[in-house]
Structure 1
Amino acid sequence: MANGFQITNRTTGQSFTCCEGQSVLKAMEQRGLKCVPVGCRGGGCGYCKIRVVDGEFECGKMSKAHVPPEAIEQGEVLACRIYPLTDLIIECLPPTVAGLPNRQTKTTALR
């Protein structure tokens, strides 16, 4: 595709364009879309985990602690470190699935 690849978020039904060589997270941010929490933007924190349901992509370096090889095989990747090669259908994983605490969780100190 000359102008980029169509990325469709199956969770919300929203679509956006991702330019060739651009990460999915960068494309989301440029369009003001908030699908996943954002952390380091370098593949180390695991915050921006998504699932690619359909399509082909290239992976940049990601923390194996957050995205082991078997997760990549199942399409679970970090949005900051994947680059589409075709149109993609993605699902944004809720923070608890992505290994993060739920934002509504209350933490209390034990005495």
Structure 2
Amino acid sequence: MGERYRVHIENSGEDYVCPTEQSLLRGMEVLGRRGIPVGCRGGGCGVCKVHITAGDYEARKMSRACVSEDEERHGVVLACRVYPRGEISLEVIGKMARALGAAAPGPGDVSGV
């Protein structure tokens, strides 16, 4: 088993520990919160979009229909395709934000990105 890192969800103030071989989405599911949106788990549906605000991670291939190159450069990724490589802080956006009771940004608004 690899390293384990703390992941902080800024919207809710929650923290969880995520191993390097586990996606951020899977780590969120382990929190046991009802309503965490899960779609294809393969980077093609965009349901689990998050904005990484700090930390190191490995992002695997995601559909450009869900995350543009510009968004990805600014830390907007799909939680199902991201693996921690250090402590991470993130904001949930879109459908994920609604599920966690966070205020979802409007279209095209990614917290100042």
How would you bin the TM-score normalised by the shorter chain?
A: 0.7 to 0.9
- 2:59 matched to which residue of 1? 59
Q: Which runs of 4+ in 1 moved over 6 A?
A: none
Are 2:26 and 1:26 equivalent residues in the alignment? yes
Specify the alignment match of 2:93 in structure 1: 93
Distance (Å, rounded) in 1 between the aligned partners of 2:53 and 2:93? 12
- Residue identity in the other structure for 1:29: E
How far did residue 19 of structure 1 move? 0.6
Q: Name the one with the larger strand percent.
A: 2
- Describe the shift of the 1:30–1:11 C-alpha distance in structure 2 as closer, same or farther (beyond 3 A): same
- Structure 1: how far apart are the matches of 2:50 and 2:25? 10
Distance in structure 2 (CA, Å) of the matches to 1:35 and 1:92: 13
- Distance verdict in 2 for CA 1:63–1:23, change over 3 Å: same
Q: Distance in 2 between matches of 1:65 and 1:92?
A: 19
Q: Relative to structure 1, is the Cα distance of residues 77 and 36 closer, same or farther in structure 2, using a 3 angstrom cutoff?
A: farther
- What is the CA RMSD across the aligned residues, in angstroms? 2.1
Shift of residue 35, structure 1, vs aligned partner = 7.5
**Equivalent residue, structure 2, for 1:16:** 16
Write 1 or 2 for the structure with the bigger share of helix: 2
Change (3 A) 1:34 1:77: farther
TM-score by length of 1: 0.79
State percent identity of aligned pairs: 37
Residues 20-75 of structure 1: CA deviation (Å, up to 9, x unaligned): 11100011112213585211111000000000000011011110111111111111
* Number of aligned residues: 98
Query: What are the ranges of 5 or more consecutive residues in structure 1 without an aligned counterpart?
Result: 100-111
Please list every run of 5 or more consecutive structure 2 residues that lacks an aligned counterpart in the other structure: 96-103, 108-113
TM-score by length of 2: 0.78
